[in-house]
Amino acid sequence: MVRKEPLERWSIEKSAELYNIRNWSAGYFDINAKGEVIYQYRTKQGLVQVSLMDIIRGIRARGMSFPVLLRISNILDSQISLLHESFRKAIHAFGYKGNYRGVFPIKVNQQQQVLEEISEFGSRYHHGFEAGSKAELLAALAFIKDPEALIICNGYKDSEFIDLGLYATKLGYRCIFVIEMPSEADLILERSRLLQVEPWIGVRIKLASKASGHWTESGGDRSIFGLSLPEVVELVDKLKQEGALSWLRLLHYHVGSQIPNIRDIRSAVQEATRVYTGLVTEGAPMGFVDFGGGLAVDYDGSQTNYHSSRNYTVEEYCADIIETVMSVVDEQNIEHPTIVTESGRFIVAYYSVLIFNILDVTRFTPALPPEKLPDGVNELTQNLFETYQKLSVKNLQESINDAIYYRDQIRDLFKHGDISLRERALAENIFWNIVSQVSEKSRGMKKIPVEIEGIEVALSDIYYGNFSVFQSLPDTWAIDQVFPVMPLHRLDTMPSREAIISDITCDSDGKLDHFIDPHGEKLTLPLHELRGEEEYYVGVFLVGAYQETLGDLHNLLGDTNVVTICVHEDGSYNFVSEIEGDSVADVLSYVEYDIKYIRRRFREMAEQAVSENRITVQERASILKALEDGLDGYTYYEKD
């Protein structure tokens, strides 16, 4: 669908407003004078800016194909610093006597490079990891080098899991086993005494407080994991009886991954801190209170309590936690605990950008109807044509209602063989011209009839992107998560088309058809006309949390290429790492195909074709080379 040209000249300021980039990007991204999206950060020498298009040119020069997941390590470093420094400021401002320790939940992004960088950048703050399985615990142990950093052991724990943590404790790691169900206590007691290790343990509680949003089912009375308050009291009695109450050091809860409303956070903190003081009163040494995840990312930039946003700043989040904890523990004259949070989404979301090229476009631009209908057409087709001829601003609602009725009747006639294919095509073209005219004439109306609202969506273009929703953006399909999406260049000119974006899977759900908007969501995205052979690049931002972990092999489209850059204070940057995406052979092996068998089968087929004189020996060689190239090739579309 064509967007109307504004009276005044287009500018990068208008693009910044159109895509809301300065509100959702947390200052990390903007648009330069050339109309290209840039990454930026402020140093003592000034503002450093790097064009994503320059990075794209560098990627192409290195022979890598798109799509590419771009990681900017500076952002990861900055987010870790922002979180810790914000807590540090709040602690100082309120005179809090305890400390803050951050831990990264490995489930949010389990890639080795991500854990390596979190460990490196977080070392100055003693930033640790949260592990919910044996595999995640081993990953944490491999990359934690700081003895003061915490390893919070959540999830279902068998003897092997517990033994790993106990041996890690012997080696000097600071592991805390969080009891999430009553039966775990007996197993921890048994293994600890067998291995002669006195562990630190915590208890996860079910709070009555529950937040709103997409990711909050892990909180509330009906949460899957955690102990009810009667079960907590039973645990305390058991530990007292076993002489192990001194092991109880941490209280933990989790009410959601993305909590948009600060009031929900305060309510949960207050309730949990009351439980914490109760445990101290019972004689447990405690010392740590883990408020779990929940620090939200403002995906749409609206700064509201909408599920894809948040109505608070990071500084407000930290201050509210510190103030609430202080108000409760001071009332009971209890020592200020070390505060722990498991902010995973906030740490890694901004760090990754999915970049893909547009392969093609389909436009719903109907050809103009003939000035006169052919002789012998059906009366319904004549009525539809008259509706088109008489359409005006005054009868838009009536016209669209009539057009839909006539179109549906004509389709029924066609199904029963009462009109020809050519007449059906003529009627469809007339109908879409009516829809196009109604959309055009309704623009600027103060009050748009309900029947006409959203009609532009039916006329929107389909831009085909070289990526898979199911592999790279699974939350858009699974839970209708909305990420910021925008073109990465040509932003000094007006985007003249309204479109949805389809991926290259053969699935009707493989599309992006909901986009961020300060007032909610919109159903189309403004994009530019494609220009000949020139590549057109689109970026999906804030995809560092969960997307890589949850991605699947729909249509056997595998992991994308991954490039990580580090930007220096002089504005230069280097490619820290280049990780090749999955080949066709890789993804076939993931689903248990025997690649050797496939090669052998093709050789046999080719040799049989030679023996039957259907191909030459030279053709056999070309065919087998094509097979090898196909197996070694990228699973996504590659241009010659």
The residues that are catalytic are 506
3-state secondary structure at position 370 = coil
Dihedral sign from CA coordinates of 376, 380, 385, 386: positive
The whole-angstrom separation of Cα 617 and Cα 607 is 8
Q: DSSP state, 507?
A: -
Residue whose token pair is 């919910």 = 132
Angle between helices 112-122 and 73-94 (to 10 degrees): 40
The whole-angstrom separation of Cα 600 and Cα 609 is 14
Considering only CA atoms, give the Rg of the chain: 30
The whole-angstrom separation of Cα 108 and Cα 101 is 18
The whole-angstrom separation of Cα 479 and Cα 473 is 11
Q: Which tokens belong to 138? A: 């081993």
3-state secondary structure at position 494 = coil
- Residues 206-210: contacts with CB within 8 Å, 24+ apart? 206/253, 207/253, 207/255, 207/268, 207/271, 207/272, 208/271, 209/255, 209/264, 209/267, 209/268, 209/271, 210/255, 210/264
The b-or-e profile of 146-183 (16+ CB within 10 A means b, else e) is: beebbbbbbbebeeebbbbbbebbeeebbbbbbbbeee
H helix or E strand, kind and range, residue 174: strand 174-179
HEC profile of 393-438: HHHHHHHHHHHHHHHHHHHHHHHCCCCCHHHHHHHHHHHHHHHHHH
The whole-angstrom separation of Cα 273 and Cα 96 is 15
CB of 210 within 8 A of CB of 267? no
The whole-angstrom separation of Cα 616 and Cα 441 is 64
The b-or-e profile of 415-436 (16+ CB within 10 A means b, else e) is: eeeebeeebbebbbbbbbbbbb
3-state secondary structure at position 68 = strand
Chain centroid to Cα 531, Å, comes to 30
The whole-angstrom separation of Cα 611 and Cα 620 is 11
Half-sphere exposure of 457 (CA within 13 A, CB side): 12
CB of 549 within 8 A of CB of 344? no
